[in-house]
Structure 1
């Protein structure tokens, strides 16, 4: 039986951490190592986390790794993965949870398709009040590099991957946002094989967030630029229409980030709106116009 290491990074969410760990302990597949990477740094949040983890550590149910300072989710996942003893690696955020058969079904799927290096599953999503969220993002998409760039999705908890492949790819890259999507690009461009197990085998919890800050907006824009650079390096894969779609999507994502920001952000978003028209299809014009209005109006009017 192949061994699997489940990596759970945690940061300021000790209240939900037990649910995540318990969902792994209840897996029908039993050859599992659980690694919890505490990314709180040395502060009260680390103290709270250690209190939650104490019974699991005493029962030798988890391996606990602690960062002395907060390094971010990307490095926390890499820390756990590089320390893992399993032949396969799976990831789980500290506020999400697996269905009981998640690991077993993904392992069997890969083992029955010997050419595969990884697989992704679909998922459920709920909000903080446990209300189900229906979205196309719940369904795994993208089995080739082209599909991944045009319409694919990958949340880290969907993934089960051979550790040897993860190590060769040097883990998740240090970009401010969208590390999961960027990893998908790296994985596929290196010629590794992935397939979709179209079953909802985990639940992702969506949290309400405040309006994006200027600092967060800069991080998102930087990350979008890095993704676009990757896409441009593979533009030979795409037809002219597909290339236009990629450019349109990149510009519109920038608008969506900036249009509810401060005055200087709104001006940038308006500029991106005008640029996007060149690449948009007619069916997109209404949405561009809507975003233009959002860019022109003060935020207090938008909220009301």
Structure 2
């Protein structure tokens, strides 16, 4: 019986699915099963999946039902003692499963192990490291403020905890990960693997209307989540909303390539600051402010080129460092 079950929900993933699966097959921990739930793809996803020869991989096609239901279908197909999820365009470092499993085995009182995140550009040519965080134990209040796990591709979870709390809630299509992690945090302790191990791919070129839809869904989700939050923690709501607008400001810069993206980013960031002025002390807020200043002073095109060059240089240094560790 496999120790770990990896669940990948896919939908029209022909551009990335083979690379994503390969990042699982290259794991230093090999006693896993890989459950791929195809959520009604209409491209070559299933054809590409059929070309992968590995007895640990099982593919289950379904009609389209959305991400939360696809993940729940994956959970129902698993047999491992520990479960983890990987979005079809994200990647892992080779030691992700090994180190997260070791963390949970060393801390039997913890139910979830998580790692730090790299933000990967859509073309895969550059990335930057997310902020290192050390939240452990009861992390419920920290998760209320922000989904610091960043994506659905991060945590390793004990099966027993999922059986206790249930799966993903389809009523939170954009924030199902966040809502799921909050329920986990209500029932178990978290442990951190202090290493960047998740490559979270950032889409580019999305229309501004998509950003506005994300704003609506995230704000509505925040409002709904806080309906059941204890009175003594309700004061965190403004801070939580501020972090939503901070992230929207970041997405405006990443996904909207013209000058309108910078304008929208500035508006979102100003709203974040009005909601929670102390967010100005946050490193990400300062970074966004510097980027917006560069765009205003240098023009969007030149500033974008400089920021991309800086990101590629960081990626090269990280890749070189990783190569040295492998050689040692």
TM bin (shorter chain)? 0.7 to 0.9
Q: C-alpha offsets along residues 199-255 of structure 1, whole Å, 9 cap, x if unaligned? A: 1123222220322437x7446424422323323532534485x55534655677789
User: Could you say which residue in structure 2 is the equivalent of 1:295?
Assistant: none
Q: Residues 281, 20 of structure 1: CA spacing in aligned structure 2 closer, same or farther, 3 A cutoff? A: closer
The CA distance in 2 between the partners of 1:256 and 1:30, in whole Å, is 36
Q: Return the TM-score normalized by structure 1.
A: 0.74
- Superposition pairs of residues 1-304 of structure 1, within 5 angstroms: 3-41=3-41, 43=42, 45=43, 48-56=44-52, 59-68=54-63, 70-134=64-128, 136=130, 139-140=132-133, 142-143=135-136, 144-154=139-149, 155-174=151-170, 175-189=172-186, 191-213=187-209, 217-218=212-213, 220-238=215-233, 242=236, 244-246=238-240, 248=242, 277=274, 280=277
RMSD: 3.7
Give secondary structure in 1 for the equivalent of 2:128: coil
TM-score (norm 2): 0.69
Is the Cα–Cα contact under 8 Å of residues 7 and 92 in structure 1 kept in the other structure? yes
Alpha-carbon distance in structure 2 between the residues aligned to 1:59 and 1:13: 19
* Greater Rg over alpha carbons, structure: 1
Provide the rounded CA distance (Å) in 2 between the counterparts of 1:140 and 1:194.
12
Aligned equivalents of 1:10, 1:173: Cα separation in 2? 18
In the alignment, is the contact (CA less than 8 A) between 1:141 and 1:151 conserved in 2?
Answer: no
SS in 1 for 2:167: coil
CA distance in 1, matches of 2:275, 2:154: 35
What is the Cα deviation at residue 72 of structure 1? 1.5
Contiguous gaps of at least 5 residues in structure 2 = 257-266, 286-299, 302-328
